[in-house]
Amino acid sequence: MQSDILIIRMKKIHLLFLFFLSVPFFLIAQNTVDKDNQNSFINELPEGMKENTDSLLKAWNAQQYFILDTVSQLANINPYFEKAVYEDRLKRIPCVMNLTYNDIVQQYIDQYTNRLRRSVSFILGAANFYVPIMEEAMLFYGIPVELKNLSVIESAFNPTARSRVGAVGLWQFMPRTAVRYGLQINSLVDDRCDPIKSSYAAARYLKDLYDIFGDWTLVIAAYNCGPNNINKAIHRSGGEKDFWRIYPYLPAETRGYVPAFIAANYVMNYYGEHNIQPFRARFSSTTDTIHVNRDVRMEQIAAVCQIDLQEIKALNPQYQTTLIPGYRTPCTLRLPQEQMLKFIDLQDSIYNYGVPPLREEQTRMRPVVEVAPQKSSSSNRRSSAKTITIRSGQTLGEIAARYHTTVAKLRRLNGLKGNNIRAGKKLRVR
């Protein structure tokens, strides 16, 4: 009887063995690494690795400009590679810091190439919008451009990302650090959501951290938990200044932060080898920026310039409401280039659009008008006329905004046919 049972069991094992031989090995490997609970090394995931892809795809940019490439028949298949292949690929990435390969890094790579495949597709599409800005900021401060991938693990390239502890934006600045690096935060404006301002602030912060530690791996760790925690870990380790030697003394999230950064660099370079299909980006028209020194609502701009309100919000994520509070301090406004020209030409109409008459101001001005001394019309024209000298770099749009007029009026006053002006020349502004 026992021998019969043994024979049956052997047959089942043999059939199971044949089944596994019939299944491609890379599919087995994918299924085994896809189970998060099997990761003994994975610490708390960084915020960017927790971002819900469905919520990311609801962003205006994603809806307008992202197209998922569904041509490949291998889009959901993650091939199996030996560990030596991963190690060799990391060594080939142009990088000033050491992208160490070990089992911990491998498990974060597995996260990106399996469970987070769709998020990586989004990130690769969003990179077209934000990476050029980040690289420009890194080069400006003379720091490694590969640090741009910190934003991958911080926010998954979502400029309005908010963490449970209050960090905000592409670079997940906490309020105190943001203010220290010149970012404005109030009920109307949060510069942490401004891709340009926050990227330059992040680059400057990273440079300051390098001045403290002199090691880019420690800089990355310090960006996550702060320099004080790094100094404590160095002290507890007996003065060690290598990340992997102070690893046991770091906060749980920071222990995973550097491996996640290495994994992010890997997947941003080798996503194709894992059959990850990027969202292809259909670029919008070129955008332009102007400084606004009066309060204006996005609804006014949308109505007069005939632009989608959601597009204005998406291009200016730093504003908490639809009010751009330029009267308090000059504020930046980013628009598609064609609509920016409309904004410059139609500023009076925009600022006055939908604004009710100011009765108190009218009442106050009436007696002033009644008692004002009468002058001849020619005298009035001479006294009200104003001429300036054009400075180097000034544009008609900037001058019009400064003197509360429009480009069209400046052209008419000075007999101009285009927007070209020359430094040193006189320009009548009223």
- Can you give the pLDDT at residue 277? 87
Q: Are 167 and 48 in contact (CB under 8 A)?
A: no
Q: Are 429 and 394 in contact (CB under 8 A)?
A: no
- Can you give the pLDDT at residue 430? 79
- Can you give the pLDDT at residue 409? 84
Amino acid at 290: I
- Can you give the pLDDT at residue 167? 94
Nearest Cα neighbor of 257 from 205, 219, 292 is 219
- Can you give the pLDDT at residue 17? 29
Per-residue pLDDT of the chain (430 residues; tens, 9 = 90+): 444 433 334 333 333 223 322 333 223 233 333 333 334 456 566 766 765 555 555 565 666 666 665 555 556 789 999 999 999 999 999 999 899 999 999 999 999 999 899 889 889 988 888 999 999 999 999 999 999 999 999 999 989 999 888 999 999 999 999 999 999 999 999 999 999 999 999 999 999 999 999 999 999 999 999 999 999 999 999 999 999 999 999 999 899 999 999 999 999 999 999 999 888 766 555 888 999 999 999 999 999 999 999 889 989 999 999 999 999 889 999 998 889 999 999 999 999 988 665 444 444 444 444 334 444 444 444 445 788 888 766 778 778 777 778 877 888 888 887 777 887 788 888 7
Interatomic CA distance for residues 286 and 337, integer angstroms: 6
Contacts of 245 (CB under 8 A, 6+ apart): 237
Interatomic CA distance for residues 115 and 54, integer angstroms: 14
Nearest Cα neighbor of 188 from 319, 329, 301, 300 is 319
- Can you give the pLDDT at residue 31? 31
What does the DSSP 8-state code read for residue 173? B
- Can you give the pLDDT at residue 234? 97
Phi, psi for residue 102 in degrees, rounded to 5 = -160, -175
Indicate the pTM of the whole model.
0.70
Q: Are 308 and 302 in contact (CB under 8 A)?
A: yes
| Residue 403 CB-density burial (10 A; 0-12 exposed, 13-18 middle, 19+ buried) | middle
Q: Please, what's the largest Cα pairwise distance for the chain?
A: 125
- Can you give the pLDDT at residue 73? 53
Plot region of 300 (φ>0 → left; ψ -120 to 50 → alpha; else → beta): alpha
What dihedral do alpha carbons 221, 223, 226, 232 form, nearest 10°?
Answer: 20
Helix (H, G, I), strand (E, B) or coil at 125: helix
What dihedral do alpha carbons 334, 336, 339, 340 form, nearest 10°?
Answer: 40
Contacts of 31 (CB under 8 A, 6+ apart): none
Neighbours of 90 (CB within 10 A): 21
Angle between helices 103-113 and 117-141 (to 10 degrees): 120
- Can you give the pLDDT at residue 59? 63
Interatomic CA distance for residues 25 and 4, integer angstroms: 32
